[in-house]
Structure 1
Amino acid sequence: VAAAAANILSIHADGGVVRFAVPALAGLVFTDGGQLQVTDAAGVVQTFALADVDSLTLADAAATPVTVTYAGAAATVVNPLADVGVAVTVDGADVTVTGTNGLAGVVFALSGASSDGLFKAYADADFDLILNGLTLTNADGPAINIQADETIGVTLADGTTSTLTDGVTYAAAPNDEDQKACFFSEGQLVFGGEGTLIIHGQGDDQHGLGSDDYVAVNSGTIQVLSAVKDGIHTNEGYYQLGGDVSVASGSDGVDAGDGPVEISSGALSLALTAQDKDAVKCDGILLISGGTVDLDVSGDQSKGLNAVEVHLAGGDVTIVTSGDAVLEASGSGFDPSYCTAIKADALVLLDGAAVDIVTTGLAGRGVSCDGDVTVLSGSLQVTSSGNGAAYTNELGQADAYHGPCIKADLTTTLTGGSITLTHTGSAGKGLSGDGDLLVNGSGLLLQVAVSGASVTYGFSDAAEAKAVSMDGAVSILDGTLILDATDDALKSKTSIVVDGGVIEVTDCEEGLEAPFLTINGGEIHVHAADDALNATMGSDIEGDDGSELVINGGYVALDAPSGDAIDSNGTLTIAGGTVLVHGASSQPEVGIDVNGTFRTDGGFIVVAQINSNMVETPSSLSGQRAVLLRSSTTFNAGTLFHLEDTAGNELVTFRPNQRYSSVLISAPGLASGTSYRVYTSGTHSGTLEDGLYTGGAYTPGTLRTTFASSGTVQTVQF
Structure 2
Amino acid sequence: MIDSDLQAEAVIAANDDSTVTRDDEWSDVDAIDVALIGSSATTAAEGVTVADGTVTISEAGVYRLSGSLEGSVVVAAPDDALVVLILDGVDIQNGDGPAIQVDSADDVAIALADGSENTVSDASSYADDADANAVIYAAADLTITGTGSLTVDGNGNDGIASTDDLVILSGDLTVDAIDDGLRGKDSLTVEGGTLDVTAGGDAFKSDQDDDATRGWILIEGGDLTTSSGDDALSAFTDVVVTGGTLSLDAGVGGTASDSAKGIAAGTVAVLDGGELTITATDDGVHSDGSVGIGGASLQISSGDDGVHAEQTLEVRSGEVTVDAVEGLEAPVLVVEGGDTTVHASDDGMNASVSDLVTSDVSITISGGNLTIVMGSGDTDAIDSNGDLTITGGTFDITANSSFDYDGNGSMSGATVTVNGAAVTELTNSMGGGGMGGGGRP
When the two structures are superposed, what TM-score results if normalisation uses the length of structure 1?
0.47
How far, CA to CA, are the matches of 1:439 and 1:367 in structure 2? 16
How far, CA to CA, are the matches of 2:217 and 2:34 in structure 1? 38
The structure-2 alpha-carbon separation of the partners of 1:475 and 1:210, relative to structure 1 and needing over 3 Å to count, comes to same
The structure-2 alpha-carbon separation of the partners of 1:223 and 1:580, relative to structure 1 and needing over 3 Å to count, comes to same
Tell me the SS of whatever aligns to 2:262: strand
1:27-78, CA deviations, whole angstroms, 9 ceiling, x for partnerless residues? xxxxxxxxxxxxxxxxxxxxxxxxxxxxxxxxxxx9xxxxxxxxxxxxxxxx
The structure-2 alpha-carbon separation of the partners of 1:383 and 1:309, relative to structure 1 and needing over 3 Å to count, comes to same
How far, CA to CA, are the matches of 1:432 and 1:106 in structure 2? 49
Which residue type is aligned with residue 216 of structure 1? A
How far, CA to CA, are the matches of 2:388 and 2:351 in structure 1? 9
Tell me the SS of whatever aligns to 1:218: strand
The structure-2 alpha-carbon separation of the partners of 1:107 and 1:437, relative to structure 1 and needing over 3 Å to count, comes to closer
The yes-or-no answer on 1:263 pairing with 2:156 is no
How far, CA to CA, are the matches of 1:342 and 1:296 in structure 2? 12
Residue 381 of structure 1 corresponds to: 277
Aligned residues: 362
Would you say the 8 A contact 1:511–1:532 is kept in 2? Answer: yes
1:151 to 60, 78, 84: 60
Would you say the 8 A contact 2:31–2:64 is kept in 1? Answer: no
The yes-or-no answer on 1:554 pairing with 2:414 is yes
Residue 272 of structure 1 corresponds to: 177
How far, CA to CA, are the matches of 1:473 and 1:198 in structure 2? 52
The structure-2 alpha-carbon separation of the partners of 1:162 and 1:553, relative to structure 1 and needing over 3 Å to count, comes to same
Query: Higher strand fraction: Structure 1 or Structure 2?
Result: 1
1:372 to 255, 268, 289: 268
Which residue type is aligned with residue 523 of structure 1? T
How far, CA to CA, are the matches of 2:93 and 2:344 in structure 1? 48
Shift of 1:143: 2.8
Q: What residue ranges of structure 2 are gaps of 5+ in the alignment?
A: 1-22, 126-132, 207-214, 353-360, 431-441
Shift of 1:375: 0.9
Which residue type is aligned with residue 217 of structure 1? I
Residue 489 of structure 1 corresponds to: 348
Would you say the 8 A contact 2:342–2:371 is kept in 1? Answer: yes
2:76 to 163, 182, 186: 186
When the two structures are superposed, what TM-score results if normalisation uses the length of structure 2?
0.75
Residue 128 of structure 2 corresponds to: none
Would you say the 8 A contact 2:31–2:63 is kept in 1? Answer: no
How far, CA to CA, are the matches of 1:268 and 1:189 in structure 2? 21
How far, CA to CA, are the matches of 2:345 and 2:276 in structure 1? 22
The yes-or-no answer on 1:200 pairing with 2:93 is yes
Shift of 1:268: 1.5
Tell me the SS of whatever aligns to 1:231: strand
What fraction of aligned residue pairs are identical, expressed as a percent? 19
The yes-or-no answer on 1:416 pairing with 2:295 is yes
The yes-or-no answer on 1:510 pairing with 2:380 is yes
The structure-2 alpha-carbon separation of the partners of 1:370 and 1:557, relative to structure 1 and needing over 3 Å to count, comes to same
Would you say the 8 A contact 2:35–2:67 is kept in 1? Answer: no
The yes-or-no answer on 1:110 pairing with 2:35 is yes
The yes-or-no answer on 1:404 pairing with 2:313 is no
Shift of 1:449: 0.7
Q: What residue ranges of structure 1 are gaps of 5+ in the alignment?
A: 5-61, 63-104, 130-135, 167-181, 324-338, 387-402, 451-464, 537-546, 566-577, 582-590, 596-718
Would you say the 8 A contact 1:237–1:256 is kept in 2? Answer: yes
Tell me the SS of whatever aligns to 1:278: coil
Would you say the 8 A contact 2:205–2:217 is kept in 1? Answer: yes
How far, CA to CA, are the matches of 1:520 and 1:114 in structure 2? 71
Larger radius of gyration: 1
The yes-or-no answer on 1:217 pairing with 2:119 is no
How far, CA to CA, are the matches of 1:449 and 1:519 in structure 2? 23
How far, CA to CA, are the matches of 1:256 and 1:382 in structure 2? 26
Residue 33 of structure 1 corresponds to: none
Would you say the 8 A contact 2:145–2:168 is kept in 1? Answer: yes
Would you say the 8 A contact 1:415–1:439 is kept in 2? Answer: yes
How far, CA to CA, are the matches of 1:196 and 1:264 in structure 2? 19
Shift of 1:525: 1.5
Would you say the 8 A contact 1:263–1:289 is kept in 2? Answer: yes
How far, CA to CA, are the matches of 2:347 and 2:31 in structure 1? 67
1:520 to 383, 387, 391: 391
How far, CA to CA, are the matches of 2:391 and 2:423 in structure 1? 12
The higher relative CO (CA closer than 8 Å, separation ≥ 6) is in 2
How far, CA to CA, are the matches of 1:513 and 1:162 in structure 2? 62
Shift of 1:269: 1.4
Residue 498 of structure 1 corresponds to: 365
How far, CA to CA, are the matches of 1:309 and 1:263 in structure 2? 14
Shift of 1:219: 2.5
| Farther-moved stretch of structure 1 (407-416 vs 358-367) | 358-367
The yes-or-no answer on 1:479 pairing with 2:338 is yes
The structure-2 alpha-carbon separation of the partners of 1:406 and 1:3, relative to structure 1 and needing over 3 Å to count, comes to closer
Which residue type is aligned with residue 548 of structure 1? N
Would you say the 8 A contact 2:33–2:44 is kept in 1? Answer: no
How far, CA to CA, are the matches of 2:273 and 2:429 in structure 1? 41
Matches within 5 A, 1:261-660: 261-273=166-178, 277-297=179-199, 299=200, 302-307=201-206, 308-321=215-228, 323=229, 339-359=230-250, 360=252, 361-363=256-258, 364-384=260-280, 386=281, 403-423=282-302, 425=303, 428-441=304-317, 444-450=318-324, 465-470=325-330, 472-493=331-352, 494-508=361-375, 509-514=379-384, 515-529=386-400, 531-536=401-406, 547-559=407-419, 579=423, 592=427
Residue 139 of structure 2 corresponds to: 235
1:249-276, CA deviations, whole angstroms, 9 ceiling, x for partnerless residues? 21111111111x1112111211112xxx
What is the CA RMSD across the aligned residues, in angstroms? 2.9
Shift of 1:432: 1.1
Shift of 1:106: 9.0
The yes-or-no answer on 1:253 pairing with 2:159 is yes
The structure-2 alpha-carbon separation of the partners of 1:223 and 1:108, relative to structure 1 and needing over 3 Å to count, comes to closer
The structure-2 alpha-carbon separation of the partners of 1:490 and 1:223, relative to structure 1 and needing over 3 Å to count, comes to same
Would you say the 8 A contact 1:107–1:128 is kept in 2? Answer: no
Shift of 1:235: 1.3
How far, CA to CA, are the matches of 1:466 and 1:162 in structure 2? 53
Which residue type is aligned with residue 193 of structure 2? G
Would you say the 8 A contact 1:165–1:201 is kept in 2? Answer: yes
Would you say the 8 A contact 1:532–1:559 is kept in 2? Answer: no
